[in-house]
A = this chain, B = another copy of it.
Amino acid sequence: MIKKTRERVSPSVIRRLPRYRRRLTELRDRGVTRISSKELSQITGFTASQIRQDLNNFGGFGQQGYGYNVEDLYEQVGKILGLDKEYRVILIGLGNLGQAIANYTYFNQIGFKIEGIFDVSPQVVGRRVNDIKVQDYRDLSAYLKRNKIDIGIITTNRDSAQEVADTLSKGNVKGIWNFASIDLNVPEHVALENVHLSDSLYTLAYYVNQNQ
Write the residues of chain A forming the contact surface with B, with a CB cutoff of 8 angstroms: 8, 14-15, 17-19, 21-23, 26, 80-83, 85, 87, 96-97, 99-101, 103-104, 106-107, 112, 150-151, 174-175, 177, 181-183, 189-191, 193-212
A205-B22 contact given A15-B199, A103-B96, A189-B211, CB 8 Å threshold: no
Taken together as a complex, chains A and B put the C-alpha atoms of A204 and B83 apart, in Å, by: 11
Contact between A104 and B96, CB atoms less than 8 A apart? yes
In the complex, the count of this chain's copies comes to: 2
Measured in the bound complex, the distance between the Cα atoms of B58 and A178 in whole Å is 30
> When the two chains form the complex, which single residue of B82, B101, B182 contacts A26, counting CB atoms closer than 8 Å?
B182
Q: Which residues of B contact A174 (CB under 8 A)?
A: 208, 211-212
- Chain B residues contacting A177 (CB-CB under 8 Å) are 200-201, 204
In this complex, the member of A100, A150, A205, A209 whose beta carbon has the largest number of chain B beta carbons within 10 angstroms is A205
